[in-house]
A and B are shown apart, each in its own frame.
Chain A
Amino acid sequence: MTQTRRTALKSLVGAGAGFGVAPYAYAKQQRVVRVLGTHVTLQEPLRQQAENDLGIKLEFQPGGSAQVLHKASTRPESFDLYEQWSNSIKVLWQAGSIQPIETSRLTHWDEINDLTKTGKLTPEAKLGAGDAPNKLLYVQADGSLGSTASEQISFLPYVHNVDSFGYDAAVVPKGEAYKTESWAWLLDSRWAGRVGLVNAPTIGLFDVALAAQSLELVKFKDIGNMTKREIDALFQVLIEMRRDGHFRGVWSSVPRSVELMKRGEVVIESMFSPGVFALKGQGVDCIYASPKEGYRAWQGVMCLSATTQGANKDAAYEYMNWWLSGWPGAFIARQGYYISNPQRSREQLSQEEWDYWYDGKAASTDLLGTDGKVVVRKGEVRDGGSYTRRFNNIAVWNTVMDNYEYTLSAWNEFLSAA
């Protein structure tokens, strides 16, 4: 993804070291695990908690999405664990930078829910287009990645969420989740000049593609893997609209997305969950839309470097297991993210927290974020409802398409159009 989440989350973390102690004790060995990743998961409270729980030394190497992906793909010896999004798996696996993870060494592997294993959280869920995590999860017999279950996986599934767009309800009339709220709003001429997009073709492109598809401006055979012709058609629409001044611009960090809406420069834009909560905290009635077309989903991945072996590899497994041990899942739940084995985290959440964050019920009390500040007021209901309802409505997964390079130049043309 981008460096966008990092600064936002930076502001949301801080006094998180008081949320309890993981129930599992691990052998204390002073080993070092180098973790390359983004600020979404490389948060100081998590590092401190893990070090305390595991007795290992963690070296976090946070960076921007592209930067860390490049480093991971070209210099596997520089890290032990790599934390990012599922759309980087293809690259890393192809480059041979990561090694398979043995499911037998994952203590809570069996608790991992079906979202990652099958692409559907529930049988009735929509199967999102693009690189659903299950398509990249298992190491196949031929060394490729696929959805056929095996005992080796390319990544540890853990943090994930669905994204959509946020809008300022003071300007944009409030819609009804899954019914009237639509990606098409991003291209609604009423908000001309006040529309923002995330500056990432693997993410923002899908936001506008879903919008254009909803308005039937462009038809995609597979929105998760667009052809060059489809990309051309989409960008023809986008460039024309940009020239007409429809888009205010793009943002490259969550704080920037918050600033844009806070300043009123945009009233509707691609958003990440922390940005929405940050705006709410600042008094902006920002609603995280639940588009009727479905969400754009992403799956956090934890990968093991191809060069990590021995004790470091053991420590890396311990750290992976720690992530699924409950406490970290509860921690990131308070930031709006989900964990792949939520039931274990439930033990670390209060009933009110569970009801709000996972069950989509109205908060029966004010809820605190990881920084100790109130992020949810009593009576509020999470946009989009419960975990199940949200993940049953996935339109597309963040994906590095086959025509990724083509989308880069098209994206440049779009940005340069004036």
Chain B
Amino acid sequence: MTPSDDRARILEALRRAAPAAGHRAHPGTHPIPSLQGGWSAFSTRLASVGGCAHGPHPRAGLAAEITALARHRSARGRIVADRGAGELLGDGAWEELAADAAPHACRDVAVAIVRGEVGVAENAAVAVLSRSAAERALPFLCEHLILLLDEERVVPDLHSAFAELPPSALASSPCIWISGPSKTADIEQTLVYGAHGPLSCDVVCITNGR
């Protein structure tokens, strides 16, 4: 049987399986729940998923704060910033990834600094958009991850967070939601951080200029 036969066969079977009458309609948009929002709710939740919240910090002096945090995580290791973080922080102890770098270029990164788009208070997830192959690998190959998040981009719930992202973000580049460090409980249900990806996850909140 050729692959196109499989397609025809499945579609034919689905046509036969369709209900005779009354195709049920889409239920529409889920009403936004009234949950506690804001950075303080986010911080509490982040701690519960094994992450560490910092700030809010004003933009002035931010680079020095981030350098200190990165050096606290790794005294001498390689620090790499993604494009969004680099644009925000300017020059510092970090290197920026070349747009055409291979993903394997991130293999020995000790600390990655990555710009988050939106933060969700109900689950401490931060949306990260990657613009290149290396940026896609960076938050997973690094030993420690620092996410930068604007205070006004923290929303209460996941529905609002999806609505907050530009449609292009959900339709083109990969969008990764990160909630705390990599973890596993596969050995006797003992929680271990750093199963594959980063051992730690810091989220630094940035206030708008004040």
- A and B: real partners? no
Residues on B lying within 8 angstroms of A by beta carbon are none
Residues on A lying within 8 angstroms of B by beta carbon are none
